Chain A
Amino acid sequence: MSGIGTGYDLYPTTFSPDGRIFQVEYAHKAVENSSTAIGLCCKDGVVFGIEKIILSKMLVEGTNRRVFSVGEHIGIATAGLTADGRRIVQNARQEAKNYENFTSDIIPIHVLTERLSIYVQVFTLYNYIRPFGCSLMIGSYDEEKGPSLYCIEPDSVALGFYGCAIGKGKQEAKTEISKLKLSEMTCKDAVKEIAKILIKTVHDETKEKEMELEMSWICKETKGKHKLVPKKLIEEAVEWVKGQENEED
């Protein structure tokens, strides 16, 4: 079977003649196969929302988590191979703990992001370990500096965002996000907007099974701690989205 990269795509140690590393690009494809995750940087915090496809009615709600806490003040949302994401989060937790033990300060988010970026990059160098097949969104809220949101991709590029989407429906999600006025939005409103994008724009009811919304936030209300969005708020958001649908019809 020939693809574009044939011959130059066996190992991350080979550049193609046009300067690409195909193994890393294939890792991106793994992320694009996964369901969508969105992160929004609002006026008073950061909110993550993930479209989780329910594979079987036998699965307990909330299982197969895709948001994680690092320390108390940083949240990470993953898309792609969840196991790879969990590995990076484990590394992040170690970094955060070591930093705190050594300096008695909590790790600033841009320092953690830089360190994870360096960690992810190492796996694009050798032919005996594969690159990570996941993207991460890292978010935090600080009283003085305000909210911050970063995204790390399998090629280790880490960029700061106001609003970001990763996974299958990221193109459509990004279009919707760019229409929002994020600097004026509160986190509670963001919960509704994310629900709307995930349920209406991204999720295809004909093709895919039912979905579950997993949402978490770090905001003024949670006093800068990363917490799951209360179930009640998510249910209200889903109701609101259904109401919107009826209005438009």
Chain B
Amino acid sequence: MFDLEKEFLYDLNKEVKTGTTVMAVTFKDGVIIAADSRTSSGSYAVNRVTDKLTPVHDQIYCLRSGSAADTQIISSYVSYYTNMFSIEEGSQPTVKKAAHMFREFLYQNKQYLHAAIICAGWDPIDGGSVYSLPLGGSIVKQPFATGGSGSTYLYGYCDMNFKENMTEEEAEKFVTYGITEAIARDGGSGGIVRKAIIDKNGVRRKTVYGNKLKKFWEK
């Protein structure tokens, strides 16, 4: 029998996922990270201005995709531990350390979690670094990384346009256009483009609003 209420509430009872497109890329002086701003529950956009750029430490950020609850709690734990360690050791944590802590949580709890993280930032030892931590709990250091449902539309774009040691301007364009394209093609991604530039001077956050997003081939 057709139950109007059950059908209507079906979407809202679905798990909240960050449909998502996220990107992180190393450039000459550090890293630039960028993300879309849609959090969806089924086909309902729960939050159309989400901030997926989550700080873990002063100069270490993470980009979250998959279950919103899972990624939020894990980044909260890693943030706690990096802060504790940096106080204990009296030195700035490396991105490598934070990324490996993410890995430990993701791998040891892999049966319960649906979470993929990109951990990116700047530290005085390795400079700008990007670590990709996909679903199973593996860890791999990369010059750039993409994640989320929208990233499937960016493999070609990234492979063709990425260069090592880009300038800040080039790198910023690279990520902004990337996210814009993914938003255009992926139903799970949308809203605005949030960016952060992390280098030795700290973090600079930028936003590109919907009406300012460049329009690529559109009929």
Task: Looking at the assembled complex, report how far the CB atom of A100 sits from the nearest CB atom of chain B, in whole angstroms.
Answer: 10
Taking the complex as formed, is A56 at the interface, i.e. its CB lies under 8 A from any CB of chain B? no
Contacting pair B96 A105 (CB below 8 A): yes
Cβ contacts A97-137/B at 8 Å (1 or 0 each): 00001111100101100100000000000000000000000
Chain B residues whose C-beta falls within 8 Å of the C-beta of A102 in the assembled complex = 81, 100-101, 104
Interface size class of B (residues with CB under 8 A): 10 to 19
Main SS at interface, chain A: helix
Contacting pair A111 B97 (CB below 8 A): no
Taking the complex as formed, is B10 at the interface, i.e. its CB lies under 8 A from any CB of chain A? no
Within 8 Å by CB of B101, from A103, A110, A111, lies A103
Contacting pair B88 A111 (CB below 8 A): yes
Task: Give the most central of B89, B90, B101: most A CB within 10 Å.
Answer: B89
Interface size class of A (residues with CB under 8 A): under 10
Taking the complex as formed, is B85 at the interface, i.e. its CB lies under 8 A from any CB of chain A? yes
Chain B residues whose C-beta falls within 8 Å of the C-beta of A101 in the assembled complex = 104
Contacting pair B104 A111 (CB below 8 A): no
In Å, the complex CA distance between A104 and B104 comes to 10
Chain B residues whose C-beta falls within 8 Å of the C-beta of A105 in the assembled complex = 94, 96-97, 100
Chain B residues whose C-beta falls within 8 Å of the C-beta of A111 in the assembled complex = 88-89
A103 (CB) vs chain B CBs: closest residue: B97
A104 (CB) vs chain B CBs: closest residue: B100
In Å, the complex CA distance between A103 and B84 comes to 12
Contacting pair B96 A104 (CB below 8 A): yes
Chain A residues whose C-beta falls within 8 Å of the C-beta of B104 in the assembled complex = 101-102
In Å, the complex CA distance between A101 and B101 comes to 9
Chain B residues whose C-beta falls within 8 Å of the C-beta of A114 in the assembled complex = 88
A101 (CB) vs chain B CBs: closest residue: B104
Task: Looking at the assembled complex, report how far the CB atom of B126 sits from the nearest CB atom of chain A, in whole angstroms.
Answer: 12
Task: Looking at the assembled complex, report how far the CB atom of B104 sits from the nearest CB atom of chain A, in whole angstroms.
Answer: 5
In Å, the complex CA distance between A102 and B96 comes to 11
Chain B residues whose C-beta falls within 8 Å of the C-beta of A110 in the assembled complex = 89-90
In Å, the complex CA distance between A114 and B97 comes to 20
In Å, the complex CA distance between A101 and B108 comes to 12
Contacting pair A103 B85 (CB below 8 A): yes
Chain A residues whose C-beta falls within 8 Å of the C-beta of B90 in the assembled complex = 110
Task: Looking at the assembled complex, report how far the CB atom of A31 sits from the nearest CB atom of chain B, in whole angstroms.
Answer: 28
Chain A residues whose C-beta falls within 8 Å of the C-beta of B85 in the assembled complex = 103
In Å, the complex CA distance between A111 and B97 comes to 15
Cβ contacts A6-30/B at 8 Å (1 or 0 each): 0000000000000000000000000
In Å, the complex CA distance between A72 and B96 comes to 21
In Å, the complex CA distance between A105 and B97 comes to 7
Chain A residues whose C-beta falls within 8 Å of the C-beta of B94 in the assembled complex = 105
Contacting pair B89 A104 (CB below 8 A): no
Contacting pair B89 A108 (CB below 8 A): yes
Contacting pair B100 A103 (CB below 8 A): yes
Q: Which residues 93-107 of B have a CB within 8 angstroms of A?
A: 94, 96-97, 100-101, 104
Closest 9 CB pairs of A and B: A104-B100, A103-B97, A102-B104, A111-B88, A103-B100, A108-B89, A111-B89, A105-B97, A102-B101
15 more CB-based (< 8 A) A-B contacts, given A103-B85, A105-B97: A101-B104, A102-B81, A102-B100, A102-B101, A102-B104, A103-B97, A103-B100, A103-B101, A104-B96, A104-B100, A105-B94, A105-B96, A108-B89, A110-B90, A111-B88
Q: List 11 A-B contacts (CB under 8 A).
A: A101-B104, A102-B101, A102-B104, A103-B100, A103-B101, A104-B96, A104-B100, A105-B97, A110-B89, A110-B90, A114-B88
